Structure 1
């Protein structure tokens, strides 16, 4: 029989759409509400989560209102605010799009460039590792749901799989997308990624 580790899952849920996510603006500290479409996405994500039949999940959520509202609409009661789940701090690039940033920093991406006045990849790695450490400590008896943001969730996936933060570039994650982390033969694995049901 497999041990509990083989059945353990860490589920990531990105918040629903906001006005800035539609425009592809980097949204870190700015606390925007969900759009009407984002609220529908969050509600629909709840159906995905229900289908996973999670074991008494521990639910951790970013302090940002868009993430907390997503958890509420997705039917995740008792969510605990975890400051380390906040989005990447984009510093001077807050509210700017990648093409706007590349106008003066050609080829820039969050994964390979620097962020003036914001967080480094090393800082993100430290936060991601703390969050995953908390999750692993719960997995013997329950699953874990982490409700947060696009770039930071992608960093979490990379770190779970043993990669550097920059490899989060491989795991595009849509608003209200769901990803499932777990184990196979005791090795960390990605069981599912960017699951999204219809919202109509």
Structure 2
């Protein structure tokens, strides 16, 4: 067993992750990459419920996926996306599912019984390593910020971010389940990046 990496850049504060709230496709497990699906009424209520928790925090920077479901979640949660400290970051777009966009895992496995997103990626879309390269840039920007950072994005992308935060391969995001509307807090302990809370 190897020790946790100690040469990673460390954040000056905490990095908070928020997965967007429920959409019609997320509710039924359809892979939702670049298709811009709005929140359901249940999702909107869940996003509003995030407001008291996030209002207690002061963020030096906010980074949000450009997709509408992430922006809608942020807005309903009371997060300001205008101004010098907020960025709509294309690196936070969800995994590009290519030919599997809009298809459920059981649907894909009707023709590819052993398919596993984290190992096989998506034809016409991205592999885990592609998503990992994008989140590495997000992590570098978060660690350079002068205080706490809020990131609002998507389930699979944030799971890859969690794995990369710990210095693991992107594929280890498979072990980090994150429900819609979930909040995670990343930080560091004794010079090693660590997960403080996952999916609360």
Q: With structure 1 as the length reference, what TM-score do the two structures score?
A: 0.89
Residues 7, 183 of structure 1: 8 Å contact kept = no
Q: 1:133 — aligned with what?
A: 140
Task: List aligned pairs for 1:92-171, cutoff 5 A.
Answer: 92-138=99-145, 141-171=146-176
1:86-130 per-residue CA deviation (whole Å, 9 max, x = no partner) reads 000000000000011111111322111231000112211110101
Q: Where do 4+ consecutive residues of structure 1 move more than 6 Å?
A: none
What RMSD over aligned residues (CA atoms) do the two structures have, in Å? 1.4
Call closer, same or farther: CA 1:194–1:87 in 2, change over 3 Å. Answer: same
Q: Does the CA contact (< 8 Å) of 2:11 and 2:144 recur in 1? A: no
**What TM-score, normalized to structure 2?**
0.89
- In 2, the alpha carbon distance for the partners of 1:21 and 1:193 equals 19
1:182 and 1:89 mapped to 2: Cα distance? Answer: 27
- Count residues with an aligned counterpart: 187
Pairs within 5 Å for 1:1-12: 8-12=13-17
Residue 59, structure 1, aligned to residue 62, structure 2: yes
Cα 1:93–1:169 shift into 2, 3 Å: same
Which consecutive unaligned segments of at least 5 residues does structure 2 have?
A: 1-9
How far apart are 1:7 and its partner, in Å?
6.6
> Secondary structure of 1:104's partner?
coil
**1:72, CA displacement in angstroms?**
0.5
Q: Which residue of 1 aligns with 2:37?
A: 32
Rounded to whole Å, the distance in 1 between the matches of 2:124 and 2:50 is 34
Taking structure 1 as reference, are residues 109 and 45 closer, same or farther at Cα in structure 2, changes over 3 Å only? farther
Shift of 1:47: 2.3
Counterpart CA distance in 2 for 1:187 and 1:49 is: 25
